Amino acid sequence: MGNNTGVILELKGKKAILMTSTCDFITISRRPEMFVGQQVDLSNPALARRFKPMRYFAIAGIFVLIICSVLFYQLLKPSSVFAYVDIDINPSLELSIDKKANVINVKALNSDAAGLIKNTNLKNKSLTSAVRIIIEESHSKGFIQPDTKNAVLISASIKSGNEKVLDSIVSELQKTDFKAGAKSIKAEIIKVEPTKRSEAVKNNISMGRYKLYKEISNSDGNIDIQKAKTEGISKIIEAYESHKQDNNYHTKQKPVQEIEKVPDMPIKSTDKDTPVNHNSKKPENKISKNSSNKNDRSDNPTKESPDKKEKYNQGSKPIPSEHSKNVHNTDNKGNTKNNPSNEKKEENKR
């Protein structure tokens, strides 16, 4: 078949559909002598070529098939794991969740958990709903006793993504009131570092039990990894809380370091009207000063010069008083002598 030839595949009305040697589909005007299977020379100008719809339909169909395949794959593709949440009652199991806190996968970590989730569908449920179902199933199967201390340990660890999203998920769990039957049950909710989770996986233990074991073992050497796996979760939580209280007590009892005393700084007067006497001195102790002076004088007597003695004797004569004057003006018999000055005073008075 030449490059300019085609075979008639269908005669429809006034049109003839042909397939060319290059597998293209074309339509040409139908002639009376045409029949299906006829080879037509397309180089004949009398045969007017028209639009080739079949080729474009095939290409469009291929694109539609590709798009549908991609969409179908996206719908069937499982969501990526955002975080892991372990639940310990005494059955221990692991939930894988996405960013919307919906359960993607469930994994039993011990034989009790395997029997617990055997007939329970937790996939595509919200995390809080899944935890409620697990607690209710544990209560119905006797893992949670009504007359004993019961507790649930919920631990969360991020795989990849924003840590704040995990914080909001944990906060939502902390606000939720979980119940076993009609009785509320205590839930201890903690976050675990990815490295701690990896260590827990290697030791075949839930990451919540492993983290509490590591915390308690720092102060209690009686607990080991095997005991952490088999011990009741209520006892482990109690030991963990006691450990935290001891740490808080020792933190409060730490002695406060003494602050070095800062020397007193001079206070500046803010009153401009009040003058400050910079030459003011503290009053001295007069008694001690005088006593010290006396001791000094008694121990070290000073020698006076003869000239000073004469001056002292001349200038140290006592001043006569009125009484002494009267005494000197009396005679031996006790009669008062007339003083000329006194007589003059009396005459003047007269």
Give yes or no for a contact between 149 and 70, defined as CB atoms under 8 angstroms apart: no
Q: Tokens for 270, please give them.
A: 């803010």
Amino acid at 136: E
Whole-angstrom CA distances from 15 to 18, 22, 28, 54, 96 are: 10, 20, 6, 14, 62
Does 237 score more than 90 pLDDT?
A: no
The region of weakest confidence among 61-75, 94-108, 327-341 is: 327-341
Does the pLDDT of residue 180 top 80, yes or no? no
What are the Cα distances from residue 26, in Å, to 4, 34, 123? 12, 15, 54
**With contact defined as beta carbons under 8 Å apart, do 228 and 205 qualify?**
yes
Q: What is the per-residue burial (b if ≥16 Cβ within 10 Å, else e) of 185-206? A: bebbbbbbeeebbebbeebebb
What's the residue count for the chain? 350
The mean pLDDT of 158-163, rounded to a whole number, is 81
Strand partners, 327: none
Average pLDDT, the chain: 73
Which class for 21: exposed (0-12), middle (13-18), buried (19 or more C-beta within 10 A)?
middle
pLDDT at 176: 85
Q: Which is higher by pLDDT, 197 or 299?
A: 197
What is the token pair recorded at 260? 């070095």
Taking residues 163-181, report their average pLDDT: 84
Q: Which whole number is the average pLDDT over 142-155?
A: 83
What are the residues facing 133 on neighbouring strands?
A: none
Q: Residue 350's pLDDT is what?
A: 44
Q: Which two tokens stand for residue 249?
A: 């007590």
Residue 208 has a pLDDT of: 93
pTM, whole model, 2 decimals? Answer: 0.52
Report yes or no: 103 and 130 within 8 Å, Cβ to Cβ.
yes
Asked whether residue 96 carries a pLDDT value surpassing 90, the answer given is yes
Residue 256: band (very low, low, confident or very high) from pLDDT cuts 50, 70, 90: very low
For residue 346, give both structure tokens. 């009396």
**Which amino acid would we find at residue 308?**
K
More confident residue, 136 or 325: 136
What does DSSP say about strands 151-158 and 186-191: parallel, antiparallel, or unpaired?
Answer: parallel
Residue 84 neighbours by CB distance under 10 Å: 21
Helices (H) and strands (E) in the chain — how many of each?
A: 12, 11
Confidence (pLDDT) at 217: 83
Alpha helices in 77-204 (DSSP H): 111-116, 127-140, 163-175, 194-202
The backbone torsions φ and ψ at residue 114, rounded to the nearest 5 degrees and listed phi first, read -60, -40
**Most confident of the following: 4-18, 68-82, 266-280:** 4-18
Residues 6+ apart with CB under 8 A from 79: 98, 102, 104
Helix (H) or strand (E) holding 248: helix 233-252
Q: What are phi and psi of 179, to 5 degrees?
A: -130, 145
Whether residue 312 has pLDDT greater than 70: no
- Write down the pLDDT at residue 250: 53
What is the mean pLDDT of the segment spanning 121-142?
Answer: 90
Distance of CA 326 to the CA centre of its chain: 107
Q: How confident is the model at residue 280 (pLDDT cuts 50, 70, 90)?
A: very low
pLDDT tens digits, one per residue of 18-54: 888 787 888 888 888 888 888 887 777 666 455 455 6
- Give the integer Cα–Cα distance in Å for 135 and 89: 8
